[in-house]
Amino acid sequence: MELRHKVMSALRWTAAARTLGQLVSWFITIYVIRLLSPVDYGLMAMAMVVISMLVLVNTLGLDAVLVQEKHLTEALRRAVFGQVILVNSLFFALVFLAAEPLARFYGEPAVAPVLQVLAFQFLLLIFETLPQSQLERELAFSRRAVVDLTTAIAGSVTTLLLALYGQEVWALVWGTLLTNLTRMIGLNLICRNLVRPSFSLAPLRGHLGFGGFVSADRSLWYLYTEADKFIGGKLLGSVSLGYYAVANQIAALPLSKISGLLNAIAFPAFSQTHLAQGQAKVRDYLLTSTRLLAIAAFPVCFGIAATAEALIACLLGEKWLPAAPLLVLLSAVLPLRLLSNVFPPLLWGIGRPRTSAGNFLLAAVLMPAAFLLGAQFGALGLAYAWLLAYPVVFLLNAARVCRAIDLGLGRYLATLLPAALSAALMGLAVTGLDRLLDLPQDGWSTLAILVAAGVVTYGVAILLLAKAHVAELFALVRA
């Protein structure tokens, strides 16, 4: 019961902080998109393909060791800190020196200085690993919630102010850097956990294998999720990539922080659950999290797809309307991408990083091949690659996860089916209403009518198909 209480407390604190922070950052993000151009977002997307890939492996997966290791020693913490210093210093130098060649690869000279400034975040990340891992190990998310909130607001406000002063892509660059600086300072203030580094590998024996699989896991995940931007940046140019990147950002906006919440809590929660209560309880947690995520993810994403044109026109302005058809396709597949975020922390938590890495290897082969084919048809082809290829990847990966915990695939899929069907009915109803009726010309009025129709349709459908799931969700909120 104590573990369940800690998990639920962590969930509530993290959700509250992220919700409050995102209510601010969503409005700011939308306003910033209105101020900036597709070129600005295209340049930033090109740069972040490289930066974000290295950020995922900047700890060599040893941060996961600090969370999962049952008997954590001072020698191990010192050795991990030493390796983090070496790796992040190397990444800083690598990105800084490779900026010009990468800019030539893209055919966009403006990418080079952007990469060089963003490289400095690796020097900040050195000091995040130990306090962040300790907070995750203890499920001490009430303190971290304050840092998350401060970080979200500080980064968003900085980006907005710079965009208002006409700094174009640099508004995004400096906003990102300040976000990292704020998080680094905040984590060290609430959890003073730094130690004198050791550069000996001896304490890491027996742990490098686990960390290696975690790093491979993260690298392969990034390869398949970001290959679309890498390929699009090379073949389509900054303008088309800008429309695609913004459509992807808007599609994920309402649920992106749910994904962040999962990444922050799921691994330590599954790890501690497996250690304390065994595999049966892990299965229960997977099914419960899937039911609750599906109830939220499918209606929001299908709703965005059904109202894409009105949504883009109202929120971003007419200059972004070419992103609307991209938004339809990307939103439709997003629920499966969100649900799959539970798989890696579950497999890491039960000590099966090899299985997780295998899942991502499969995706890293299939998805880039689909993107290369889709890019021949422009940005719309990239979006169709997600819609047609990713459901296949999801089913294959879900089957492997279910085998790892002795869970039938049919039982797993049954947990998300009611929400998916209800959201599909809602999407059809909203699309039909938009096409068949003479709705007001005012964009906001049209959007309000469509949203109201969607809420009512989904509410009725989900109560008919899965009333118990809805009651479970409300019970969680009340708790």
Average pLDDT score over residue span 234-242: 88
Whether the per-residue pLDDT at 214 is higher than 90: the answer is no
Average pLDDT score over residue span 347-370: 85
Whether the per-residue pLDDT at 348 is higher than 50: the answer is yes
Distance, CA of 294 to CA of 417 (rounded, Å): 8
**For residues 32 and 160, is the Cβ–Cβ distance under 8 A?**
yes
Average pLDDT score over residue span 116-137: 89
Residues ≥6 apart with Cβ < 8 Å to 446: 310, 434, 439, 440
Whether the per-residue pLDDT at 230 is higher than 80: the answer is yes
Q: What confidence score (pLDDT) does residue 276 get?
A: 47
Residue with tokens 């970080």: 151
Q: What confidence score (pLDDT) does residue 1 get?
A: 44
Number of other CB atoms surrounding residue 27 within 10 Å:
13
pLDDT confidence bin for 420, thresholds 50/70/90: very high
**For residues 383 and 229, is the Cβ–Cβ distance under 8 A?**
no
SS (H, E, C) the chain: CHHHHHHHHHHHHHHHHHHHHHHHHHHHHHHHHHHCCHHHHHHHHHHHHHHHHHHHCCCCCHHHHHHHCCCCCHHHHHHHHHHHHHHHHHHHHHHHHHHHHHHHHHCCCCHHHHHHHHCCHHHHHCCCHHHHHHHHHCCCHHHHHHHHHHHHHHHHHHHHHHHHCCCCHHHHHHHHHHHHHHHHHHHHHHCCCCCCCCCCCHHHCCCHHHHHHHHHHHHHHHHHHHHHHHHHHHHCCHHHHHHHHHHHHHHHHHHHHHHHHHHHHHHHHHHHHHHHHCHHHHHHHHHHHHHHHHHHHHHHHHHHHHCHHHHHHHHCCHHHHHHHHHHHHHHHHHHHHHHHCCHHHHHHHCCCHHHHHHHHHHHHHHHHHHHHHHHHHCHHHHHHHHHHHHHHHHHHHHHHHHHHCCCCHHHHHHHHHHHHHHHHHHHHHHHHHHHHCCCCCCHHHHHHHHHHHHHHHHHHHHHHHHHHHHHHHHHHHHC
Q: What confidence score (pLDDT) does residue 140 get?
A: 62
**For residues 231 and 368, is the Cβ–Cβ distance under 8 A?**
yes
Q: What percent of the chain has pLDDT over 70?
A: 85
Distance, CA of 371 to CA of 225 (rounded, Å): 10
Cα Rg, the chain, nearest whole Å: 22
Q: What percent of the chain has pLDDT over 90?
A: 39
Q: Which of 46-55, 57-66, 95-104, 389-398 has the lowest mean pLDDT?
A: 57-66
Whether the per-residue pLDDT at 159 is higher than 60: the answer is yes
User: CA angle 172-175-179, nearest 5°?
Assistant: 135
Q: Which of 108-112, 126-130, 267-271, 426-430 has the lowest mean pLDDT?
A: 267-271
Q: What confidence score (pLDDT) does residue 212 get?
A: 77
For residues 288 and 267, which has the higher predicted lDDT (pLDDT)?
Answer: 288
Q: What confidence score (pLDDT) does residue 44 get?
A: 93
Residues ≥6 apart with Cβ < 8 Å to 456: none
Whether the per-residue pLDDT at 275 is higher than 50: the answer is no
pLDDT, tens digit, 9 for 90 and up, residues 71-120: 778 888 888 889 999 999 999 999 999 999 999 998 899 999 999 999 99
Q: How far is CA 237 from the centre of its chain?
A: 24
pLDDT confidence bin for 18, thresholds 50/70/90: low
* 38 HSE (CA, 13 A, CB side): 20
pTM given for the model: 0.80
Highest mean predicted confidence (pLDDT) among 31-40, 289-298, 338-347: 31-40
Distance, CA of 101 to CA of 50 (rounded, Å): 12
* Tokens standing for residue 72: 């954590």
* Tokens standing for residue 36: 């900036």
**Average pLDDT value for the chain:** 83
Whether the per-residue pLDDT at 429 is higher than 60: the answer is yes
Q: What confidence score (pLDDT) does residue 265 get?
A: 46
| Residue 37, Ramachandran bin (φ over 0: left; ψ between -120 and 50: alpha; else beta) | beta
Classify residue 475 by burial, with Cβ atoms within 10 Å: 0-12, 13-18, 19+: exposed
Q: What confidence score (pLDDT) does residue 11 get?
A: 54
Whether the per-residue pLDDT at 330 is higher than 50: the answer is yes
Closest residue by Cα to residue 204 from 23, 108, 63: 63
Whether the per-residue pLDDT at 342 is higher than 80: the answer is yes
Distance, CA of 302 to CA of 329 (rounded, Å): 10
Residue with tokens 């949504």: 311
Q: Which of 41-50, 75-84, 252-261 has the lowest mean pLDDT?
A: 252-261
Average pLDDT score over residue span 2-14: 54
